[in-house]
Chains A and B, each alone.
Chain A
């Protein structure tokens, strides 16, 4: 570890923190339906859309209708994307003449993008046409991100409203998020990315004769416009196979830095939106504080592990840390930091191959996802995810002192706690359940590229990433098979909607309650004690659930590696 490394990490945190208030203030205005700086340009477009769709912007929805709207919208979105994948061979914008995507891969990819997971069973430049990349993937990047944000805003309204029947209109939240937040930011961001060297072209792949006389085909495409939204919307699905490690997807250390900031920007600012909407910004800072504690602990471990390197390779006389699977322009620190950010935030873009990280360095991304993607988390998903943990924390605190738990003046009762537990239990069931199935079936065991504990970690990582809607991978796993494509698709869909629906149920239930004034007996939820309790609950729930699986994978691998043991494939 170097001083410069820690300066890069500190700089990242400072820039993200500086964005929280301005972006939070702006987004609050957007979600409250107020006029913004961009209204003169966008309001006519917005009103035109409502008119065409028959939407009355003043008409809000009950939580059930809100959830229903989301589900209907996603069914259609899924079908459109599936059709595009299957028919891309006969559609335009296909200069590389990619053939139709196989049914199981199309199912997996469609599930992957509508759930904001963006798991890559596909290899971008070898599988997808430019039309599929734009009309299929880029557009779902916008829609799934906007859906996450809309759900978070609806949940926040549950806390901020009293005796209300509705939690907002999904159609209005969706439209305003895309028009006023995502699209304007992406336009500026795309131009910055192109200035750094990311291609943005419809020209076909370019063949050159290299300096030594060999042939090299350069895969190109409309890359920058997709990278902008994949980062800002914490989607993470790469234009190219290796995602943000590809020099055309992340050409410079500066593009890398801005990409890292953009992964966290909206998610972090949403905590401020929460604070503003419930009328006490300190509540938002407390939640961001709990996220920051968990995040920084993870960063420190990954960075230390990668800087120390793998004992097996160090034994060959190498120094300078673990560079297998990393790019020189990023080095150890920017690769470690990126790995912690992308898995904390449910983004899943990678700028280095997590599969080749050291055992402990690769364990932190796994843990970040297993905790439920609540460390900043996916845009929107992180906020409603951590609010679910807040409810459990408040419940536990209430049990300790024997008082009805309250949060922001709302009584937390049986219904909220049941829904919170449903959402919390769903994820480990999917992650561990599917891992267990894969490790005892021939189709599952055919997947891992590495053997021994690392092979197990590859499987565990895949289902964890899918259910947590992250999308990053231990890339050695051969996941493009009917078994993995199908089971991972199920994991992604259940992992998304079995959290969204309970979260909205909580929102509806809370919105209907009265808001009680704070009394001397109210547990303050903006201070260090609450932050500590929240972090504790998150770690205990995660630790109890996942420690045995981690012990079989990264922990035993770390011990074996330290003893100099290696594992041969097929041995």
Chain B
């Protein structure tokens, strides 16, 4: 067994430095040269100021903006650090709700959200992604149906016609990748930026 000590120690140190330091640092250097924007987190700017990442969802509560999906992320309670409080779209603490299919808490939450959403577009079925939390709590996308569902509310809040808003939505629909992979979707931040830009000179 003692003869194994030297190979064990030398290989552990050498391979640790190779795979744990040289590899990630070299990749950081190369990736920063070839894909500088992606490597730094795909930051989006408005009027020169960074306002978020195109890949990370944001919390939207204003009537003038399209909402993203409900988010289950939390943050430490400022009053008591041992507890947490809801903090939607906290991009420094990703989390899902982890509520199971027979959870009473989940059923109540969804029921409340369905009723709240119905008031903005009565008579239409509420798209499922508008009332369910995402896995990460940071989902940047909603389904095209979920965006179209919100058109009447946003159009009213912005004094625009529903057709105009629907046109903005439809221009922002991203299809399945390569025609097959994933699902059609709309990036909520990109959609809301397009809304803000609409009608500007």
A419–B95 CA distance with the chains assembled, in angstroms: 42
- A547 on the B face (CB < 8 A): no
A198–B28 CA distance with the chains assembled, in angstroms: 11
Residues of B within 8 A of A65 (CB): 4
- A565 on the B face (CB < 8 A): yes
- With most chain A CB atoms within 10 A of its CB, the pick from B32, B53, B59, B143 is B53
A322–B132 CA distance with the chains assembled, in angstroms: 9
- With most chain A CB atoms within 10 A of its CB, the pick from B46, B134, B176 is B134
- A246 on the B face (CB < 8 A): yes
CB of A355 within 8 A of CB of B10, answer no
- B98 on the A face (CB < 8 A): yes
Binary per-residue interface labels of chain A (206-221) against chain B in the complex, 1 for a CB within 8 Å, 0 otherwise: 1011111010111110
Residues of B within 8 A of A251 (CB): 42, 55
In chain B between 23 and 64, which residues have their CB closer than 8 angstroms to a CB of chain A? 23-25, 27-28, 30-32, 34-35, 38-43, 46, 49-62
In chain A between 52 and 69, which residues have their CB closer than 8 angstroms to a CB of chain B? 52-55, 65, 68-69
**Given contacts A211-B65, A474-B98, A560-B102, A317 and B92 within 8 Å (CB-CB):** no
A76–B139 CA distance with the chains assembled, in angstroms: 40
**Given contacts A211-B58, A214-B58, A247-B56, A329 and B11 within 8 Å (CB-CB):** no
**Given contacts A183-B19, A323-B128, A566-B107, A201 and B39 within 8 Å (CB-CB):** yes
**Given contacts A211-B58, A224-B27, A317 and B126 within 8 Å (CB-CB):** yes
- B100 on the A face (CB < 8 A): yes
CB of A200 within 8 A of CB of B65, answer no
CB of A312 within 8 A of CB of B102, answer yes
Please tell me which stretch of A151-159, A187-195, A394-402 contacts chain B, meaning at least 4 of its Cβ atoms lie within 8 angstroms of it.
A187-195
Please, which residue of chain B has its CB at the minimum distance from the CB of A330?
Answer: B182
- A359 on the B face (CB < 8 A): yes
- B171 on the A face (CB < 8 A): no
Residues of B within 8 A of A195 (CB): 34-35, 38
Please, which residue of chain A has its CB at the minimum distance from the CB of B135?
Answer: A245
CB of B182 within 8 A of CB of A183, answer no
**Given contacts A202-B28, A325-B135, A557 and B19 within 8 Å (CB-CB):** no
- Min distance, Cβ B71 to any Cβ of chain A, angstroms: 11
Residues of A within 8 A of B94 (CB): 125, 219, 240-242, 245-246
CB of B23 within 8 A of CB of A186, answer yes
- Min distance, Cβ A124 to any Cβ of chain B, angstroms: 9
CB of A247 within 8 A of CB of B55, answer yes
Residues of A within 8 A of B123 (CB): none
- Min distance, Cβ A319 to any Cβ of chain B, angstroms: 7
**Given contacts A208-B52, A245-B134, A320 and B128 within 8 Å (CB-CB):** yes
Choose from B125, B182, B193 the contact partner of A317 (Cβ within 8 Å). B125
A201–B61 CA distance with the chains assembled, in angstroms: 32
Please, which residue of chain B has its CB at the minimum distance from the CB of A563?
Answer: B102
CB of A312 within 8 A of CB of B107, answer yes
- Min distance, Cβ B146 to any Cβ of chain A, angstroms: 8
- Min distance, Cβ A349 to any Cβ of chain B, angstroms: 12
CB of B91 within 8 A of CB of A201, answer no
Please, which residue of chain A has its CB at the minimum distance from the CB of B100?
Answer: A454
Please tell me which stretch of A253-261, A291-299, A377-385 contacts chain B, meaning at least 4 of its Cβ atoms lie within 8 angstroms of it.
A253-261
- Min distance, Cβ A384 to any Cβ of chain B, angstroms: 21
Choose from B59, B134, B137 the contact partner of A210 (Cβ within 8 Å). B59
Residues of A within 8 A of B140 (CB): 247, 329
- A542 on the B face (CB < 8 A): no
A304–B156 CA distance with the chains assembled, in angstroms: 40
CB of A178 within 8 A of CB of B19, answer yes
- A138 on the B face (CB < 8 A): yes
- Min distance, Cβ A399 to any Cβ of chain B, angstroms: 39
CB of B51 within 8 A of CB of A211, answer yes
Please, which residue of chain B has its CB at the minimum distance from the CB of A312?
Answer: B107
A222–B54 CA distance with the chains assembled, in angstroms: 18
CB of A135 within 8 A of CB of B177, answer no
CB of B139 within 8 A of CB of A54, answer no
- A226 on the B face (CB < 8 A): yes
In chain A between 1 and 35, which residues have their CB closer than 8 angstroms to a CB of chain B? 4, 7-8, 11
Please tell me which stretch of A262-270, A273-281, A445-453 contacts chain B, meaning at least 4 of its Cβ atoms lie within 8 angstroms of it.
A445-453
CB of A73 within 8 A of CB of B11, answer yes
**Given contacts A327-B136, A331-B183, A568-B104, A216 and B58 within 8 Å (CB-CB):** yes
CB of A561 within 8 A of CB of B101, answer yes
**Given contacts A52-B10, A318-B110, A203 and B40 within 8 Å (CB-CB):** yes
- B181 on the A face (CB < 8 A): yes
Choose from B9, B38, B114, B183 the contact partner of A196 (Cβ within 8 Å). B38
Choose from A72, A197, A313 the contact partner of B1 (Cβ within 8 Å). A72
A125–B189 CA distance with the chains assembled, in angstroms: 23
Residues of B within 8 A of A350 (CB): 135
- Min distance, Cβ A304 to any Cβ of chain B, angstroms: 15
Residues of A within 8 A of B86 (CB): none
Choose from B38, B59, B126 the contact partner of A194 (Cβ within 8 Å). B38
**Given contacts A201-B41, A210-B51, A253-B176, A219 and B92 within 8 Å (CB-CB):** yes
- A175 on the B face (CB < 8 A): yes
CB of B180 within 8 A of CB of A8, answer yes
CB of A330 within 8 A of CB of B110, answer no
A194–B55 CA distance with the chains assembled, in angstroms: 13
Residues of B within 8 A of A571 (CB): 104
CB of B49 within 8 A of CB of A209, answer yes
- Min distance, Cβ A298 to any Cβ of chain B, angstroms: 18
Binary per-residue interface labels of chain A (322-336) against chain B in the complex, 1 for a CB within 8 Å, 0 otherwise: 111111111100110
The 7 A-B pairs at the shortest CB distance, nearest first, are namely: A253-B182, A139-B20, A245-B135, A331-B183, A476-B98, A454-B100, A53-B10
Name B residues whose Cβ lies closer than 8 Å to a Cβ of A.
Answer: 1, 4-12, 14-16, 18-21, 23-25, 27-28, 30-32, 34-35, 38-43, 46, 49-62, 65, 69, 89-107, 110-111, 114, 125-129, 131-143, 176-178, 180-183, 185, 189, 192-193, 196
Between-chain CB contacts (< 8 Å), 24 pairs: A53-B10, A69-B7, A80-B12, A134-B25, A136-B20, A186-B23, A194-B39, A195-B35, A198-B38, A199-B41, A201-B28, A212-B65, A216-B90, A225-B27, A225-B28, A242-B135, A313-B132, A325-B132, A329-B141, A329-B185, A330-B182, A356-B100, A356-B106, A568-B105
In addition to A248-B55, A359-B100, 12 A-B residue pairs with Cβ atoms within 8 Å of each other are A49-B15, A69-B7, A191-B30, A202-B28, A211-B58, A211-B196, A212-B58, A313-B106, A313-B128, A322-B132, A329-B183, A352-B135
